[in-house]
């Protein structure tokens, strides 16, 4: 993948769900490319581990507790970033939650949690960061969705509901925010080799999944897009297709 990494140097980028999986891989890559980072997640222990990973980094890295289910937490996250960095150029929404269960066996609590994190959390985070970007008349938002957001998979009723909703939300964001200088991209990965699968029985062979670093590279490429065109949606699948 070829892109101009120089454009990332000094760019201020916020990442939610930054302690694991795609979020962590993206943070590590963007830091190595010179971006300043505002990183948030709800796991305090992993946040501490993440901080040590950036020792000696040439980038400015700010790590903050963030629960995307709580609007107050999101506003505190944004305000800290603005106080330390002055502005936010891009937001990458990686925070997510999912489990697989049959439609009849899925509990109300499980369904609500997926909607709350994947859809409502992305809405709230995007809304507050977008308001800041609109005032600057410039910005990027990347929503990490899932291939489950546009195809039907058995045992995926709650997860797909949240991700189909996120895809629709992202499309409206694209339509409304582009007029104000803020461009939005939806990335829909297929099965990716992350800790997402650790609590899921009978998951596909992880060696056949997409490496999380590959998703991070695609995110970086979107952030490096030259002016004159906008990447609105990327679907990424394992070499063997849907697993």
164: its two tokens: 């189909």
User: In the annotation, is 159 catalytic?
Assistant: yes
Per the document, the length of the chain is 243
Provide φ and ψ at 86, rounded to 5°.
90, -40
Alpha helix ranges (H) inside the chain: 21-32, 44-53, 71-85, 108-114, 121-136, 157-177, 212-223
- CA 12 to CA 87: how far, in whole Å? 7
Q: Beta-carbon neighbour count of residue 105 at 10 Å?
A: 9
* 104 vs 94: CA distance, rounded Å: 28
From the list 77, 111, 123, 159, the catalytic residue is 159
**Residues involved in catalysis:** 159
């Amino acid at each position: 993948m070829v892109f101009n990494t120089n454009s990332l140097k000094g760019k201020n980028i916020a990442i939610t769900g930054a302690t694991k999986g795609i979020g962590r891989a993206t943070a590590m890559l963007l830091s190595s490319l010179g971006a300043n980072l505002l990183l948030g997640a709800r796991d305090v222990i992993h946040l501490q581990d993440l901080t040590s990973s950036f020792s000696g980094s040439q980038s400015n890295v700010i790590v903050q507790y963030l629960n995307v289910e709580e609007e107050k937490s999101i506003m505190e996250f944004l305000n800290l970033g603005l106080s330390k960095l002055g502005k936010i150029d891009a937001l990458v929404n990686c925070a997510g939650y999912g489990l697989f269960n049959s439609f009849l066996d899925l509990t109300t609590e499980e369904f609500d949690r997926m909607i709350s994190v994947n859809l409502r959390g992305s809405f709230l985070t995007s809304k507050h960061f977008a308001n800041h970007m609109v005032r600057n008349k410039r910005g990027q938002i990347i929503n990490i969705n899932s291939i489950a957001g546009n195809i039907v998979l058995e045992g995926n009723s709650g997860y797909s509901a949240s991700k189909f909703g996120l895809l629709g939300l992202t499309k409206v964001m694209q339509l409304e925010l582009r007029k104000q200088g803020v461009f939005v991209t939806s990335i829909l990965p297929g099965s990716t080799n992350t800790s997402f699968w650790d609590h899921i029985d009978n998951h596909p062979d992880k060696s056949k999944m997409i490496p999380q670093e590959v998703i991070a590279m695609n995110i970086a490429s979107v952030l490096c897009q030259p002016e004159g065109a906008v990447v609105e949606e990327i679907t990424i699948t394992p070499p063997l297709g849907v697993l």
